[in-house]
Amino acid sequence: MQKLSSNADWATRARAVLPGGGFGNFDPSVFIKSGSGARVIDEDGREYVDYLIGSGPMLLGHDNAEVLEAIYETLPRGLTFFANNATAIELAEEICRAVPGGEQLRYVSSGGEADMYAMRLARAYTGRDKIVKFEGGYHGMSAEAQMSLAPEKRANFPQAIPDSAGIPPSVAAEMLIAPFNDFDYIRSLMAEWGPKVAAIIVEPLQRIIPPLPGYLQLLREEADKYGCLLVFDEVVTGFRLSYGGAQELYCVTPDITTLGKAIGGGFPLAALVASAEIMAHFDKTQVGAEGWLMQLGTLSGNPVAAAAGLKTLEILRRDGQYDTLRANGQRVMNMTRTALDATGFGYEIVGDPTLFEVVFTDAPVRDYRDVQSSNTARATAYNETLRQEGIFKAAGKTYPSLPLTEGDFAITEAAIQKAAADLT
């Protein structure tokens, strides 16, 4: 077989076996060969400073020695069992300690699965059907989650717009869509629909958009007022914004928390966490056949993933880790401001030092429509230049990580200056 040695070679082969030539995640023209620290190398041999870091999970970098050692120690004992294992129990104990209000969890393999089960669990617990979701909020690939994730056409709230083919209209009928950060709207929506709502599901930091002061507290109050559950999707923000996630940072405790990314240390692992009372619906002996929520997964609680996640969390608990992560992100934010201020173009750096993005706009960014109304063509050009100058990142997010070095920052600053200077 011919040895393939370039992105172009691999792209040709990929197009024969993959729809669109990719996995559906990222630019299919780029093939990553390896990663080390906060850098990756593609099949053309080009090295980048990595601000994608696997879409978030590689907080410690691509080859953290302690995580690798934990994986190597686990591998000879078996790859997966479809049965309980001690390492996954230890990880569950640590996650429940870290998550405010978390008493029990159930493992799955992806954050999208966790979100799907969280919505189903809320329905089982409350006996209601309606789910409140925020326009632009990402909660995986389930039919419910694909409602008004990235609608190209605007609709009147609370109408749900499917973002995928193959979803029956009956799904949209059970979803209520609200604008993020709109205090008056969520009050009016819950006044009308509250007694039928099973859950309000929200990313506490929606993609990159922070909640306005008091907004998450209002969601907590509205959920309590109408007897529904508040679900925080912390797949991205869990163990990133702080060790206890966004709920610790913003001082609001949800009823159900979904987690992924960091808890698997780079392996497919996710979980939903709640009180023992709510989680009882996964145990038929407690709730009976009528209230039982069936859930199983071949790789749920995989021991190798659990070992990687357990060591990752141990490292994140050490003194100064979050100070370093925030300082790294703030340093990139400051570089960006310095470069973009010189251009005279309107922009906002939206998010948190641990997760942010540049939005080219002259207006405040408070919800999905504000981002969509920005100068997306300018953002595309800016990100294309960053890639050309050795920065690997998604178009809509910048993920800082702990192993960024002075050399990485030097490359980053030069790339940002070039990208800013080239803007028109």
Q: Which residues are catalytic?
A: 138, 233, 261
Which stretch of DSSP H or E encloses residue 350? strand 348-352
- Rounded-to-integer distance, Cα 361 and Cα 368, Å: 13
- Please report the beta strands in 127-174, taking only residues with DSSP state E, as ranges in sequence order: 130-134
The span from the CA of 312 to the CA of 262, in Å, is 7
Q: Which of 346, 304, 355, 298 is nearest to 325 (CA)?
A: 355
Contacts 24+ apart (CB under 8 A), 369-376: 369/135, 369/136, 369/154, 369/179, 370/209, 371/136, 371/207, 371/209, 375/345
Query: What are the tokens at 138?
Result: 């990402």
* DSSP sequence for 178-230: E-TT-HHHHHHHHHHHGGGEEEEEE-SSBTTBPPPTTHHHHHHHHHHHHT-EE
Find out whether 175 and 131 touch, Cβ atoms under 8 Å.
yes
User: Letter for the amino acid at 293?
Assistant: L
Asked whether the beta carbons of 108 and 117 are under 8 A apart, the reply is: yes
Neighbour order of strands in the sheet with 229-233: 104-108, 270-274, 256-259, 229-233, 197-202, 130-134, 175-178
Rg (CA), the chain: 22
Q: How far apart are CA 390 and CA 385, in angstroms?
A: 9
Q: What is the DSSP letter of 393?
A: -
Asked if 270 and 294 touch (Cβ cutoff 8 Å), the reply is no
